[in-house]
Structure 1
Amino acid sequence: MRRLGTFLLGVMLLAGPAFAAPLAVLVEERARSDYADSLPPEGAFEITVKEPPKGEVLTLAEFWMDPRSGKFLANAVLETGDVQRIGGLALITLPVPVPTRRLLPDEIIMEDDLTVMRLPVGRVGAYVETEIEEVIGKQVRRVLTPGRPIQAQSIIHPLVISRGDRVEISFSDGLLALRSPGRALSDAHEGQEVRIVNLISNKTVTGIATGAGTVEIVQ
Structure 2
Amino acid sequence: MSRLNAHIVAALLAVSILSALSAAPARAASPETLVEEQAREAWGAELPEGASIRVSVQDPKPVDALIISAYWMDRDSGRFLANAVMENGQEKRIQGLALATMTLPVPNRRVMPGEILTEADLTELELPLRRVSAFAVLGRDDLLGKQVRRMLTRGRPVMSRSVTEPLVIDRGDRVSIVFDDGKLRVTAPGRALDDAQRGQELRIVNLVSSRTLRGIAREDGLVEVLR
Contact kept? 2:69, 2:83, Cα under 8 Å: yes
Distance 2:179 2:192 in 1: 16
* 1:37 match: secondary structure: helix
Instruction: Tell me which residue corresponds to 2:207.
Output: 199
Partner-residue secondary structure (3-state), 1:108: coil
Displacement of 1:195: 0.9
Query: Counterparts of 2:96 and 2:128 in 1: how far apart (Å)?
Result: 15
TM-fit CA distance, 1:202: 1.4
Contact 1:170 1:215 in 2 (8 A): yes
Q: How many pairs align? A: 212
CA distance in 1, matches of 2:163, 2:125: 19
Contact 2:61/2:94 (<8 A) preserved: no
Alignment-derived partner of residue 44 in structure 2: 36
Q: TM-score, normalised by structure 1?
A: 0.83
Deviation at 1:61, TM superposition (A): 2.8
Please give the per-residue CA displacement for 1:159-215, whole angstroms capped at 9, x wherever unaligned: 111111111111112222211111111111211111111112212111111111111
Query: Does the alignment pair 1:215 with 2:186?
Result: no
1:200 aligned counterpart, secondary structure: coil
TM-score when normalising by structure 2: 0.80
3-state secondary structure, aligned to 2:117: coil
What does residue range 176-191 of structure 1 map to in structure 2 within 5 Å?
A: 176-191=184-199
Q: Percent identity?
A: 48
**1:217, distance to aligned residue in structure 2 (A):** 0.7
Q: Please, what is the CA RMSD of the aligned residues?
A: 2.8
Cα shift at 1:52:
2.1
Matched, 1:64 2:72: yes
Q: Which residue of 2 aligns with 1:75?
A: 83
Q: Do residues 53 (structure 1) and 63 (structure 2) align?
A: no
Please say if residues 73 and 88 of structure 1, whose CA atoms lie closer than 8 Å, have aligned partners that are also in contact.
yes
Identify unmatched segments of 5+ residues in structure 2.
1-9
- 8 Å Cα contact 1:57/1:77 also seen in 2: no
**CA deviation vs aligned residue, 1:27-83 (integer Å, no higher than 9, x gap):** 11111221222222312111134x323443524231112445533221234678764
Question: Judging changes above 3 Å, is the alpha-carbon distance between structure 1 residues 102 and 195 closer, same or farther for their aligned structure 2 residues?
Answer: same
